[in-house]
Amino acid sequence: MKARKIAERQPDALVLGCDQVLEFKGKAWGKPETPEGAKRQLLQLRGQKHQLLSAVVLYHEAKPIWRHVGKARLTMHSFSDAWLDGYIHRNWDSIRHSAGAYLLEQEGIRLFSEVEGDYFTILGLPLLPLLGYLRVRGFIDT
């Protein structure tokens, strides 16, 4: 929606929009609102596998010209309640902005036993498919 609004105001611009959700047991999760919410999310994910879905849309001439959804599968290992409390306390300022209450590029990597999928998709932008499309369409040099 944000990308569409910007594209309508700047029709000559190439506008990129992206967002990410965490999918677990058929439900989509967003960012936790409180440290307690982060703890609830992470306790449910502990020892489980979930998916991150990173969607991207590209607008040109105020119209969507390309869409893609990248998927990654992540498995959390079992961690202690005490470690989890410390993790949330140390990292709340950054994890509150992340679906699932973790960032792989920070201490959040310690939550995981297995990660399957493209790293950029996990970060929130499926960059390799986007760059491929931009090359094919001539928006960037090859």
pLDDT per residue as tens digits for the range 38-62: 999 999 999 999 999 999 999 999 9
Q: How is domain 2-134 classified at the architecture level of CATH?
A: Alpha-Beta Complex (3.90)
**Is residue 14 exposed (0-12), middle (13-18) or buried (19+ Cβ within 10 Å)?**
middle
**Residue 76: HSE in the Cβ half-sphere, 13 Å Cα cutoff:** 23
pLDDT per residue as tens digits for the range 86-95: 999 999 999 9
Looking at the predicted structure, is the pLDDT value of residue 142 above 90? no
Measure Cα distances from 15 to 5, 6, 84, 90, 111 in Å: 10, 7, 39, 35, 34
DSSP class of residue 72 equals E
Rounded Cα gap, residues 40 and 14, in angstroms: 39
Q: Model confidence at 84, in pLDDT bands (50, 70, 90)? A: very high
Report the predicted TM-score, pTM, of the whole model to 2 decimal places. 0.87
Domains of the chain, by residue range, sit at: 2-134
Q: Is the dihedral of CA 104, 22, 121, 138 positive or negative?
A: negative
Q: What is the pLDDT of residue 73?
A: 98
Q: What is the mean pLDDT of the chain?
A: 95
Catalytic residues: 19
pLDDT per residue as tens digits for the range 3-43: 999 999 998 999 999 999 999 999 999 899 999 999 999 99
Mean pLDDT in residue range 86-111: 96
Q: What is the pLDDT of residue 141?
A: 92
